[in-house]
Amino acid sequence: MSQRLMFLVTLSFFTLLSSPSLAVEFPTVGNAMPLTNICRFAPDPSYCRSILPNQPGDIYSYGRFSLRRSLSRANRFMSLIDAELNRKGKVAAKATVRALEDCKFLAGLTMDFILSSSQTVDATKTLSYSRAEDVHTFLSAAITNEQTCLEGLKSTASGNGFSGDLFNDTKLYGVSLALFSKGWVPRRQRSRPVWQPEASFKKFFDFRNGRLPLNMTESARAVYDTVTRRKLLQAGADAVQVSDIVTVNQNGTGNFTTINEAVAAAPNKTDGTNGYFLIYVTAGLYEEYVEIPKYKRYVMMIGDGINQTVITGNRSVVDGWTTFNSATFILSGPNFIGVNITIRNTAGPTKGQAVALRSGGDFSVFYSCSFEAYQDTLYTHSLRQFYRECDVYGTVDFIFGNAAVVLQNCNLYPRQPRKGQSNEVTAQGRTDPNQNTGTAIHGCTIRPADDLATSNYTVKTYLGRPWKEYSRTVVMQTYIDDFLEPTGWNAWNGDFALSTLYYAEYNNTGPGSNLTNRVTWPGYHIINASDASNFTVTNFLVGEGWIGQTGVPFVGGLIA
């Protein structure tokens, strides 16, 4: 078969899987460019040339074509996973089935993300900055989903059978992301730091102003008496709407006795017009695995305080779970707010990866919460996340994932790991240079947990290590205690990623912030205020709007 005929057959098959209304046009005049010039933007130019039609077009026509082809591949992969689950679901080992189920879940998310992105770019060549950021985030998450699926399958009997598909799909999604980044993402002018002194913030849910108190020690009835069922805060510019309030109390006096029952009662696929569905979880030890599905949007969950309202589980990789599904609390629904809750995984330091919270909820916010485990405590998996005044306890890679995430005014507590291990606060998982992801630790405190503090610091502790090739972590305006290794950062394996990662520090304080003996890797940087401002809430998360509507305090720029 000739190459021309092969291309026509391939294109015809692809068109069958795509909507006829989404036909791709390749202009041959004006700003048309040769395929070679287009593909120079992709991480793998040779692969890009192999999957795009070799005829002149502009960045927009090629970008649209690539996205449609990405959607076709995502649909194909979902079918492959379904077939494998149907074939092996009843006979395969539990670990294999769980990994396949993870992949099916992730493939469904990926199809959502790519379809939304394709529909957006088909509509226009010009996007607002916030809309472009949405698509940029979705395509970044699609790549993360593929990597997560591959990680889970590696140790199973199905791993080799899907590795080729996952590898090629990831490369294709990388082409779509690169062309979108070049064609649609507006050029961002470097923003000046936004100074927002702490004193300017109003207390979240200030009870004296008739608002729901942070430390909610009153009975459920007091919650109903204090606020109406339609407003959480008083009317005004900073009002936070609430559509309904339900109470979880293990003694039977509330609406529900378990958290999952309350989550199930939340409406599906709301757009937030009527506000948040508020779940008040009274003090108690809740031994349940909580999940906020992707169709449960605008859920707010408030407990009675750290170590008062506690959600706990003990799943781990050693006991047959994937890292992805070992979490005690799983968040997939967008626009979630969590306040005054402790989430634990008690598997212990000898059970390997054991997640407390896994968050893949876009626009998620956690305020005054605690996350407690050992290895892989806080899985900031994907999309956009913000943590304020939270405590995170862990050992190896205890804040990890590939979200765009800012932790602000948080306390990070490395603890005593199992014998022979070192502590790494972060293991960021960026795999593509065009992903808009990374971990920013801003205005936090890093000090040893009590068990590590009494061990005479025989365990080495680092700020992070590069889990993936383009790992990106910035620590700024943070207090670092004297237990940190002077080099600051740890290698993953030899010289892997040391020239492609982006690790940076800015204006940190404390005895552990001394930069004299820091690593000299090509990817490590000591940055100035201008560079640091790129990793603030305002610039990195474009968060002033979506965080501002939650009522949770935040600093948009650098701290004065």
- The residue from 160, 184, 208 where one domain ends is 184
401 and 502 assigned to the same domain: yes
CA dist 438 and 514 (Å) reads: 23
* Residues 346/324, Cβ–Cβ less than 8 Å: no
180 and 281 assigned to the same domain: no
Burial, 445: exposed, middle or buried (Cβ in 10 Å; 0-12, 13-18, 19+)? middle
356 and 502 assigned to the same domain: yes
Structure letter (DSSP) for residue 21: G
Q: Please provide the DSSP assignment of 369-432 as one string.
A: -EEE-STT-EEE-SSEEEEES-EEEESTT-EEESSEEEEES-EEEE---STT--EEEEEE---S
140-184 per-position pLDDT tens digit = 999 999 999 999 998 776 666 788 888 889 999 999 999 999 999
Check residue 139 and give its pLDDT. 98
Check residue 159 and give its pLDDT. 67
Asked if residue 59 is part of any domain, the answer here is yes
Asked if residue 128 is part of any domain, the answer here is yes
The catalytic site residues sit at: 397
Give the domain extent around 123: 35-184
Asked if residue 54 is part of any domain, the answer here is yes
CA dist 543 and 80 (Å) reads: 37
157 and 281 assigned to the same domain: no
466-488 per-position pLDDT tens digit = 999 999 999 999 999 999 999 99
* Residues 343/329, Cβ–Cβ less than 8 Å: yes
Q: What is the CATH number of the domain that holds 97?
A: 1.20.140.40
Check residue 15 and give its pLDDT. 38
Q: Which two tokens stand for residue 490?
A: 């740890």
Closest CA relative to residue 429, chosen from 376, 381, 378, 471: 471
Asked if residue 251 is part of any domain, the answer here is no
- The residue from 133, 153, 184 where one domain ends is 184
365 and 513 assigned to the same domain: yes
Per-residue three-class SS string for 205-268: CCHHHCCCCCCCCCCHHHHHHHCCCCECCCCCCCCCEEEEEEEECCCCCCCECCHHHHHHHCCC
Asked if residue 389 is part of any domain, the answer here is yes
Asked if residue 226 is part of any domain, the answer here is no
CA dist 314 and 317 (Å) reads: 10
302-357 per-position pLDDT tens digit = 999 999 999 999 999 999 999 999 999 999 999 999 999 999 999 999 999 999 99
- The residue from 158, 184, 210 where one domain ends is 184
Check residue 55 and give its pLDDT. 84
289 and 160 assigned to the same domain: no
168 and 293 assigned to the same domain: no
Check residue 441 and give its pLDDT. 98
CA 397 to each of CA 106, 354, 378, 416, 527: distance values in angstroms, whole numbers, following the listed order: 22, 11, 9, 13, 24
432 and 533 assigned to the same domain: yes
301 and 431 assigned to the same domain: yes
For the chain, the domain total comes to 2
Check residue 119 and give its pLDDT. 96
Burial, 3: exposed, middle or buried (Cβ in 10 Å; 0-12, 13-18, 19+)? exposed
CA dist 405 and 141 (Å) reads: 13
Check residue 239 and give its pLDDT. 62
pLDDT per 10-residue tile (average), the chain, 560 residues: 38 36 40 84 93 89 95 95 86 87 96 97 89 96 96 79 86 96 73 35 34 40 38 46 92 96 97 92 97 97 95 96 97 97 97 98 97 98 98 98 98 96 97 97 97 87 98 98 97 98 98 98 98 97 92 93
Asked if residue 265 is part of any domain, the answer here is no
Asked if residue 213 is part of any domain, the answer here is no
How many residues can be counted in the chain? 560
196-236 per-position pLDDT tens digit = 333 323 333 433 233 343 333 444 344 434 333 333 433 33
CA dist 368 and 391 (Å) reads: 8
159 and 294 assigned to the same domain: no
Q: What is the CATH number of the domain that holds 495?
A: 2.160.20.10
